[in-house]
Structure 1
Amino acid sequence: MRLVTINCEQQEIAGVVTPKGIITIAQINQLFSKSWEIEMFPLITKGQIPEMTHWYNSGGKAQLEALTEEAIPFEQAIFAPLYRYPAKIFGIGLNYKNHAADLSEKAPETFPASFYKPATAIIGHGDTIVIPVQSEKTTGEAELGVIMGRECENIEPAQWLDYVAGFTTIIDMTAEDILRQNPRYLTMAKSFNTFISFGPQLITPDEIEDIMRLKVRTVHNGEVYAENTVSNMTFPPDFLVAFHSKVFKWLPGDILSTGTPRAVHIQQGDTIECQIDGFMSLTNPVSVSDAKG
């Protein structure tokens, strides 16, 4: 099942993707006598996605595909971030060796390199990334995102999918010139407004045959700047979820951004995309803070 969040009558509501467009959860509730949450974050935090997935795979998919007139056409949909206020946005740095080379650093081998981002940095598909006045060199990084669906601590890698709601596309921004001044400036370099875009789709784990075979691409102004396969990560997603569950408690709706093949310098007028096999592309234009000009 593929879920999205769209702007509908000044509200950000969740919907299911069909070949003809999007059927909102509100429509599903009305048409099929369901009582699921109509917004993505409570849909996740109240543990309703597994129930929805079971319904979808047990006949719901065919029922939704028959609703051709009710579907909101993709070209009319205004996508929003999947949700806005997770408890944690946890990022992994230098998880592909090529990206470590970009920063003239050695890829971590003992523990994953990690950082937090504030929820106030979140934007969605089509929103503008704004380069802050403090930075002369900001980079964008396409990444595979993991969305946690259940609370967990002290789990093993083999258990990880039991706690995952789904996967998504992410573009993570870094004020690279600030970071290069001092590695302790990492939090500042990662935290500016508009510095993480995620969505437009949440894809449930049952839709993905082999997560390790997915290709992640950073696309800059329509050209593939870098690509790599999840299997080439130093620390793969199952390890990352399990390892960090022994450091802190994962909560439903937490976002794990698993690292980028390479970061690309972005400037005024650019467009950056995260492309992952089987996912709708996440695309954002780039602007510069008005304070610069």
Structure 2
Amino acid sequence: MKLLRYGPAGSEKPGLLDDQGQVRDLSGHVDDIAGDVLTPEGLAKLAAIDVSALPVVEGAPQDGLRLGACVGRVGKFVAIGLNYADHAAESGLPVPDEPVVFNKWVTCICGPDDDIVIPKGSKKTDWEVELGVVIGKGGNDIPQDSALDHVAGYCTVNDVSEREWQIEKGATWDKGKGFDTFGPIGPWMVTRDEIPDPQKLGLWLEVDGHRYQDGTTETMVFGVAELVAYCSRFMRLMPGDVITTGTPPGVGLGQKPQVFLRPGQTVRLGIDGLGEQTQRTTGG
């Protein structure tokens, strides 16, 4: 299934994408794509629904019909840094021995095609295409060999980052990662049964038509199962939590000379089987 949320910001309704690319309304069955809906039991109930009997939502998704973040009421938005060896190299940092974990504030979450608002005075706003992992079955101290059983599905994430606040204003990355609109998620969450191996997905990102990132999750330092197990050692994962798993090389910080976003640009990104995002940059 491809689960999504559609409608105006703050008033999104639950839906799914059918095989014809139409959005079907799920609000007669669930109130949101969130919480217990994402547990194995909740997803099984959705999978049993006759999709052809669901109301068709007017408008083409991402072309007149706005999509919100594909997961609602996210409790934790956990991010992983330097999880591709070649990205660590372009950042001038060693490959970590253990996952680098930081937070993106949940208030940064927005729809996949909403504008990226460059913070006032920012000269170093950057992009990062990443594989997002949505937790379905909660828990802590999750064994790595069963960690994927705790995953509801996967989605595309742009881990937008303000590098001055991230790197130059103290030791905590969180400050540069959680500005409003710095967490586009979606367009949809693809359930785990449709992604047989999350370590075999291509991912890419372009700015104004120039491709900066073109990588594969095969080159992750720590794979999805290891990350889920690792994070569960020091936090209880809950249904609807999102872990975004790091970015391949090609970020603006790593260009020579460095390149950062400015107002009026278009960012496009995507992951195999998980859909694409398009954002315009504003503010600054």
| TM-score after normalising by structure 2 | 0.88
1:78–1:179 distance in 2 versus 1, CA, 3 Å: closer
Q: Which residue of 1 aligns with 2:43?
A: 49
Stretches of structure 1 lacking an aligned partner (at least 5 in a row): 30-35
Q: Which residue of 1 aligns with 2:142?
A: 155
Cα separation, 2, equivalents of 1:254 and 1:102: 29
Identity %: 29
1:10–1:236 distance in 2 versus 1, CA, 3 Å: closer
1:285 equivalenced with 2:280 (yes/no): yes
| Residues 2 and 202, structure 1, Cα contact 8 Å, conserved in 2 | yes
Give the counterpart of 2:91 among 89, 103, 107: 103
Q: How much is the aligned-residue C-alpha RMSD, in angstroms?
A: 2.2
Give the counterpart of 1:70 among 24, 33, 56: 56
Q: Deviations over 1:83-134 (max 9, x none)?
A: 45311100000111222123211121x2101100111111112211111124
Q: Which residue of 2 aligns with 1:23?
A: 24
| Residues 84 and 248, structure 2, Cα contact 8 Å, conserved in 1 | yes
The offset of 1:243, in angstroms, is: 1.2
1:20–1:123 distance in 2 versus 1, CA, 3 Å: closer
Q: Which residue of 1 aligns with 2:32?
A: 39
The offset of 1:174, in angstroms, is: 1.2
| Residues 175 and 190, structure 1, Cα contact 8 Å, conserved in 2 | yes
SS of 2:75's equivalent in the other structure is: coil
Cα separation, 2, equivalents of 1:272 and 1:9: 20
Cα separation, 2, equivalents of 1:277 and 1:248: 30
| TM-score after normalising by structure 1 | 0.85
Which of these two proteins has the greater Rg computed from alpha carbons?
1
Q: Which residue of 2 aligns with 1:32?
A: none
SS of 1:178's equivalent in the other structure is: helix
| Residues 47 and 149, structure 1, Cα contact 8 Å, conserved in 2 | no
1:189–1:22 distance in 2 versus 1, CA, 3 Å: same
SS of 1:40's equivalent in the other structure is: coil
Aligned residue pairs, count: 272
| Residues 178 and 189, structure 1, Cα contact 8 Å, conserved in 2 | yes
Residue pairs, 1:1-293, within 5 angstroms: 1-7=1-7, 11-18=11-18, 19-26=20-27, 29=28, 36-42=29-35, 43-44=37-38, 47-53=41-47, 55=48, 60-61=50-51, 63=52, 70-74=56-60, 75-108=63-96, 110-182=97-169, 184-262=171-249, 263-264=251-252, 265-289=260-284
Cα separation, 2, equivalents of 1:70 and 1:111: 46
Cα separation, 1, equivalents of 2:248 and 2:181: 21
Question: 3-12 or 271-280: which moved more?
Answer: 3-12
Stretches of structure 2 lacking an aligned partner (at least 5 in a row): 253-259
Cα separation, 2, equivalents of 1:230 and 1:122: 23
Which letter does structure 2 place at the counterpart of 1:24? D
SS of 1:130's equivalent in the other structure is: strand
Q: Which has the higher helix share?
A: 1
Cα separation, 1, equivalents of 2:103 and 2:115: 21
